[in-house]
Amino acid sequence: MTVDGHALAGLPACAQRDLIVRKEITPAELLKVHLEVIRTHNETVNAIITIDEAGAFEAARQATAAVERGDRLGPLHGLPVGVKDITETAGMRTTYASPLFVENVPAEDAEVVRRLRRAGAIILGKTNTPEFAAGANTVNRVFGATRNPWNTALTPAGSSGGSAVAVATGMVSLAHGTDFGCSLRMPASFCGLIGLRTTPGLIPNSPMPMLWDPGQVHGPLARSAEDAALMLDAMTLQDLKWPNAVRASWDCAVSALKRGIDTNIKVAFVPDIAGMGADREISDVCRTSALSLADVGCTVEEIDFDVSEGIAAYGTLRAHWMVEQQYHRLDRLDELDANLASNVRQGLELTSRDIAAAAHVRDLVWRKFDRLFETYDFLLTPTAPVLPFPVEQNFPKKIGGRVQTNYVGWMAQCFLITMCSLVACSVPVGKSRSGLPIGMQVVSPRLQEPRVLALSSLIQERNGLPIETVTPRKRAA
């Protein structure tokens, strides 16, 4: 068939897969158009930092043969996918965005990448991230900064910023990311995407250190909730051999999403769960979107809900986590990025009493969320307290009039949810007066991913936002 490359690359991943299944396009044709988009846009935004073109075409050839044979096809069959560069890919450079590993080529895939390949994904390349994902602005000393396609003078946030930009511009159909503080959700908000933080243990972290970790998770970045569900199905397998493994409470996330959400639900909207303030424009857009769910039968209430006592405790637990993650590099701290090294040094200064006190505060915060979810099915709250800021800044200078002193504090709307191992999805709900995307978090208890995506889909649909790619360009402030 005759293919309009950029239009094809901009289709939802589910639509692309349908074309492959119906033999209207081949995986090789789809790969070619995505590579053309990369050639057109990547130099401007610096989202993809390693491309395995030969390996991708070989995988596409095999995917085409499987279609011709009539094989049973996986959920991502023939779709080009980007993988965050802190996650190992066999035979493809994985640098962790660190000068210490600039020539590192793993012999084996990470477990999540193995699952993506098994589902038919074409692993096209690696996406940019801060060093070891320690940062909420995607910049590092090896590859430089990734730029927000909505305005290339601004940041896409981090740490999965390269993945978000690759999806937003149509360089890949879908992208993999990780989330510990905000790393899937904040880039999704800044780039107008769906970014899903999954239940810890649903997708194994192997071979990343800390197999028992309740904090960092893998998840999808996509242009629509249905596309995110498609990728979630690929990443989720019923394999309980992993130390912190949990069993999914659904068989197929896409099918569950297509059944829709029962609108006889009770939803809480909270403009600020962290007591830190937010831009008025962001709060207003999110409030309007949340309250509009009443039009389809949902009970929506704006309430006061403050878990700001968890901020300091999260900082302690995060610092302890950083020491564990970097344990084998503790004698090389001076060679690490300043963000990362300062996090580790903070952790090294902790006492057992500090860590125990933070864990007790986390218990109290979790009980607050638990009581909330006894009354409400979902919590809705802005993803980010600010709009995208200049790419040269490490973090926003002020929030709610308060001066920010480090790159972590401004993410509290997200990391207080991480702290309690909840499910959260950033969904685009509108744009600022300057034309920048605004995201809202849909939050639920553990193992409710399909319901969260179903509500996110309803929200995205009701806000009338087109599911489309973005052409990168610099815009006036």
159 is known as an active-site residue: yes
* CA dist., res. 415 & res. 215, Å (int): 10
Three-state DSSP class for 159?
coil
Query: Cβ distance 269 to 287 under 8 Å?
Result: yes
Of 32, 84, 421, 444, which one is the catalytic site residue?
84
Q: What does the DSSP 8-state code read for residue 296?
A: G
* CA dist., res. 411 & res. 399, Å (int): 11
Nearest CA to 421 out of 474, 475, 463, 366 is that of 366
User: For the chain, what's the residue count?
Assistant: 477
Task: Write the CB contacts of 80 (distance below 8 Å, at least 6 apart in sequence).
Answer: 30, 31, 34, 56, 121, 122, 124, 172, 173
Phi, psi of 266 (to 5 degrees): -115, 125
Task: Write the CB contacts of 334 (distance below 8 Å, at least 6 apart in sequence).
Answer: 341
Residues forming beta bridges with residue 1, ordered by sequence position:
none
Tell whether omega for the bond before 27 is within 30 degrees of 0, i.e. cis. no
84 is known as an active-site residue: yes
Q: Would you report the helix, strand and coil content of the chain in percent, each value rounded to 5?
A: 40, 15, 45
* CA dist., res. 97 & res. 393, Å (int): 18
Of 98, 159, 426, 457, which one is the catalytic site residue?
159
474 is known as an active-site residue: no
Of 183, 426, 444, 456, which one is the catalytic site residue?
183
Catalytic residues: 84, 159, 183
